[in-house]
Amino acid sequence: MKKTFKLIDLDCANCAAKMETGIKKLEGVKDASVSFITQKMTVEADDAQFDAVMKKVVKLCRKIEPDCEIVL
């Protein structure tokens, strides 16, 4: 399953790059991209694990950019 999410208050391109790198390392993630320009994040993961993977993604993103909100 591949889904795209809107990001609110992603403040810098460097943080977006850190988020993308971290998400790609998470177990269950096939691919991910985070765009500072479009303020969007795309995550591809197994259908059965998608909700669990997204919980990890949200936790990771909060560590890197506490003010950034992922619109699920």
Give the start-to-end residue ranges of the domains of the chain.
2-66
Give the pLDDT score at 53: 97
Give the pLDDT score at 72: 87
Written out in words, the top-level CATH class of the domain with range 2-66 is alpha beta
Could you give the CA distance from residue 58 to residue 72 in angstroms, rounded to a whole number? 10
Residue partners of 54: CB distance under 8 A and separation at least 6: 43, 45, 72
When pLDDT is averaged across residues 14-37 and rounded to a whole number, the result is 97
Q: How confident is the model at residue 61 (pLDDT cuts 50, 70, 90)?
A: very high
